């Protein structure tokens, strides 16, 4: 999947019900995106039988999302990291802060001019890293990076699975315009046609 750009970085706050299932708030733009690195860890197991490999299982375990952004505003910092703004408008981070998990959406531009859209259903961020440097003979931009752990969501889809990511490329077969144009109006929920009764 070759891509040449990335933009429209959004997040949606999560409310958990008494059963742990997620309900997503209306997505909010996080910041101007610079870079996103997503790495995935798999749980793997191999069963050997009759002197050979009988089964290999590879399942999603967790992931890491590292976002380079232009800036993280005070509201996003509160929502993502648990920091608070005091009475003087100062953002204060404490050792006891713990941000809540959020859904994260963004899109990546492909060489053909179409976009690939993503939602990561449950990401828990840590404290943003800051890079600071004095100005020398030339100007060098320093931008924050925030890293989060990607998890599967508690809420099951209609197949009984726990999704961790949704992605779609505009213009692909079977992709409606409404799916793409409404991508940021709400966190995408998987839709499956129910199997015929009796099967």
As a whole number, the mean pLDDT across the chain is 83
Distances (CA, A) of 104 to 72, 99, 109, 178, 179: 14, 14, 17, 20, 17
Q: Is 110 helix (H, G, I), strand (E, B) or coil?
A: coil
pLDDT on residue 169 = 92
* Report field, pTM of the whole predicted structure over 0.85: no
Query: DSSP label at 78?
Result: H
pLDDT on residue 129 = 61
pLDDT on residue 71 = 74
pLDDT on residue 131 = 55
**CA neighbor of 118 nearest in space, from 1, 21, 22, 14:** 1
Per the listing, tokens 């910092």 go with 77
10 C-beta neighbours (distance < 10 Å), count = 21
Rounded mean pLDDT for each run of 10 residues along the chain, 199 residues in total: 74 90 92 79 80 78 82 81 86 81 90 90 80 57 75 91 93 90 94 69
Tokens of 107: 């899109």
């Amino acid at each position: 999947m070759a891509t040449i750009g990335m933009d429209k970085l959004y997040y949606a706050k999560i409310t958990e019900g008494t059963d742990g299932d997620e309900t997503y708030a209306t997505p909010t733009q996080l910041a101007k995106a610079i870079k996103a690195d997503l790495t995935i860890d798999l749980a793997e197991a191999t069963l050997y039988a009759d002197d050979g490999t009988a089964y290999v299982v590879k399942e999603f375990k967790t992931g890491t999302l590292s976002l380079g952004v232009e800036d993280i505003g005070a509201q996003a910092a509160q929502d993502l990291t648990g920091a608070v703004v005091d009475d003087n408008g100062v953002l204060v981070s404490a050792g006891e802060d713990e941000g809540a998990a959020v859904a994260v959406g963004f899109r990546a531009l492909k060489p053909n001019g179409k976009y690939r859209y993503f939602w990561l259903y449950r990401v828990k961020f840590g404290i943003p890293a800051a890079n600071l440097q004095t100005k020398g003979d030339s100007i060098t931009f320093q931008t924050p990076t925030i890293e989060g752990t990607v998890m599967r969501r508690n809420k099951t889809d209609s197949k009984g699975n726990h999704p961790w990511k949704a992605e779609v490329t505009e213009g692909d077969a079977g992709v409606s315009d409404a799916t793409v144009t409404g991508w940021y109006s709400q966190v995408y929920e998987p839709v499956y046609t129910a199997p015929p009764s009796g099967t």
